[in-house]
Amino acid sequence: MEVNGSMGTVSTDEFKELLKSKGLKITSQRLIMLETLGRHPGEHLTAEEIYNLVKTEHPEIGLATVYRTIQVLMELHLIDRVNFDDGVERYELAHSTGSAGAHHHHHLICLGCGKVLEFEEDMLEGLELKIAEKTGFKVTDHEVKLYGYCKECGGKN
């Protein structure tokens, strides 16, 4: 099986290798969760949404298992938690094959309809270099959320 996610096209075998390389036991729940997130690229799913997607094909997996698996996959940097300041935690496949400290894509959040768009270009690298030169502070990661109005809502406001 292959899925398209923010890590690109990833096969079940590659998910297994990723888990193995992190010293993790390969369980069906972990693979199912990674594959489910991989089948929904660009979507930022809540734990409950992941659970609802998973239980259609695997009713034996409970919500508590989904939460535990999310925690493990986050600790391994295989998935990222995304917060859009609305009080809801969402999850997506890690943007760079599970490497900690890698730069993530940025999010554009529409204040009109709530739509979230992803912006891939990283324009902060130059700023990070200047910060390092001037202060000695080495930036290892950043998160950017830009708020405004999408194309559809732009004319309304």
What are 35-44's pLDDT values in tens digits? 888 888 878 8
Amino acid 11: pLDDT: 67
Residue 103, CA distances (Å) to 13, 19, 44, 72, 119 in order: 25, 21, 17, 21, 12
For 1-54, the pLDDT digits (tens) are 334 433 444 567 877 887 788 787 888 888 888 888 888 887 889 999 999 999
CATH no. of 103-157: 3.30.1490.190
Reported pTM: 0.67
CATH says 1-100 is which class?
A: mainly alpha
* pLDDT given at position 98: 39
Domain parsing of the chain, residue ranges: 1-100, 103-157
Average pLDDT estimate for 57-78: 90
CB 74 within 8 A of CB 92: no
Fold: same for 1-100 and 103-157: no
